[in-house]
Amino acid sequence: MKKIIVTGGSGFIGNNLVDFLIRKNFFVINLDKFTYASYNPKTSIRNKKNYKLIKTDINNKNLILKILKKYRPRAVFNLAAETHVDRSIDGPKNFIQTNINGTFNLLETLRILRKKKINPKLIHISTDEVYGDIKKSERSNENQKYKPSSPYSASKAGADHLVKSYIRTYKINAVISNCCNNFGPYQFPEKLIPKIISNIFKNKSLPIYAKGKNSREWIYVDDHCEALFRLYLKGKNGESYNVGSGINLQNIDLVKKIIKIFKTMNIKIGNKSKIKFVKDRPGHDFRYALNSNKILRELKWKPKVKFDEGLKKTVIWYLNNKNFLNRIKNKNYEKRLGLKL
């Protein structure tokens, strides 16, 4: 059975990607530090014959090297990252350590292995936030200069540049994916969609930054996993690929869509679950939007799940998996972050 390593495989996208790869008949080795947002689901498709979880830090270079030598994977999907912008504003250090130093350690491991004729393909997963604010009439393509605004996006931009430098200097076999906002199962409820769903469950207010006019592009996580798999199969070494749906929504319109789904499903919404505009985060980018023509043209990938369909599937998943939310006992995760200056 072909082997693949996923770093950060117990996070939101990681869990979905692990299950996706297992369905494709790969043996998946999941390397995860198990921070606050990690989750180890007991899915029926995971067993000893197709899945191995190893709790480790991507910064543990010696252990990462030992694991890659042992398993000799066909590919490494690098999803190990701190991702919440507000959390990066309050404390950038963890973002530098994981997103930049962690990527550096992984690249160093791959450089050492290449000398031993072990050369797995690295699929490095990044974000549209590295491009910064985008004007309403524009969409970022892969040649656009990086303009990160937050410590989070700066750390991801730094990691991207490291990957590109190792491709050119050390001939590492790697591709980079810059994806728009994902949504779907297993997302920790500090992000907008699961936060709104969770607060409706708890009859709490529905917080939206500023006046809710900030615009984001959204993709259902299964479509992102399919794109990443396509990068593994056909992505050209050294290239970056934007992965987006072309669907942009202002935050206020997104929240209204979630409310509408609850109402159409005849699920009672408590009297406290009303939209509440809250103080904006410092340096908040107004709009992200990707031009994804390259991956559509060169790799024949395109998203399959329509936004409204994916959003309803997401609400239903959280309704059927309330234990995912109920396990979060630490009330600190409900506090507003990103206001420390």
Q: Please identify every residue annotated as catalytic.
A: 128-129, 152
CB of 36 closer than 8 Å to CB of 83: no
CA-based torsion, 127, 130, 134, 137: positive or negative: negative
- Look at residues 73, 123, 93 and name the one whose alpha carbon lies nearest to residue 235: 123
Q: How many residues in total does the chain contain?
A: 341
Distance CA 153, CA 99 (A): 10
Identify the bridge partners of residue 209 per DSSP, sorted by sequence position: 278
Q: Name every residue whose Cβ is closer than 8 Å to that of residue 16 and which is 6 or more positions away in sequence.
A: 184, 185, 186, 221, 222, 224, 225
The number of angstroms, rounded, from the C-alpha of 241 to the middle of its chain's C-alpha atoms is 15
Give me the residue label for tokens 């609850």.
262
> Phi and psi of 49, rounded to 5°?
-85, -15
Distance CA 294, CA 246 (A): 13
CB of 305 closer than 8 Å to CB of 234: no
